[in-house]
Amino acid sequence: MAGYRKLGRTSSQRKALLRNQVTTLLYHGKIVTTEAKAKEIRKIAEGMIAMAVKEKDNFDTVTVTSKVARKDKDGKRVKEVVNGKKNDVFDEVQKTIKKDQPSRLHARRQLEGYLYPITEVPAESAGKKKNTKTVSVADKLFDEIAPKYASRNGGYTRIVKIGLRKGDAAMEVLIELV
C-alpha cells in the first residue's frame, strides 16, 4: 500500500497540484477542494506550520546603516549635477532588520523551495503589471501564522465537509487554518 494518495495524476502533476494548494491554503487561510486532496494537503501544511512554530523566535535584531536615494514629492529620485554629470542624491538611514539564525534560515529556504511565490495585484490596477508585488508565503508563515499557533501542539488545520459536488458527486470539503 502506498504512503500517499495518487489523486489520479502523474507524479509531476500531483506535486504541482499539492504545492499550489498548500501555498493557497497558507496565503488565504482556507480553500475548498475534494476530501482526498484535503487530506494530502493537511499533511504537508501541518509540517510546514510546525517547522515555522519551532523556528519563530530564532533570529537576532541588527541595526544597519544603508544608503537610500532621496526622492521628491512625486516619488522621483533627486538629481544633482557634479562635474557635468547628473548623479542621484543619497541619504544614510539607520534600519533595524531581523537576521535569521542558521536553523531558521534553513527552514525558510526549505519553505521557499516548496511554496510558490504569490503576486499581489491592487484592485484599482487589476489586469495590469504595474504596481504588482511578489509576496513570500514563508514570511507570512514566520510573522503571522507561527506566533498564532505557538501554544498549540499540532492540529493546525480543520476539514469541514460541505457536500457532494454536482458534476461527479465527489465529496467537497473546506480545509482551513484553525
CB 120 within 8 A of CB 132: yes
- Mean pLDDT, residues 41-66 taken together: 94
The predicted-structure confidence for 140-153, as pLDDT tens digits, reads as follows 999 999 999 999 99
Separate counts of helices (H) and strands (E) for the chain: 5, 9
Residue ranges of domains in the chain, CATH in brackets: 12-58+102-177 (3.90.1030.10), 59-100 (no CATH)
* Confidence (pTM): 0.83
Size (the chain), residues: 178
CB 173 within 8 A of CB 35: yes
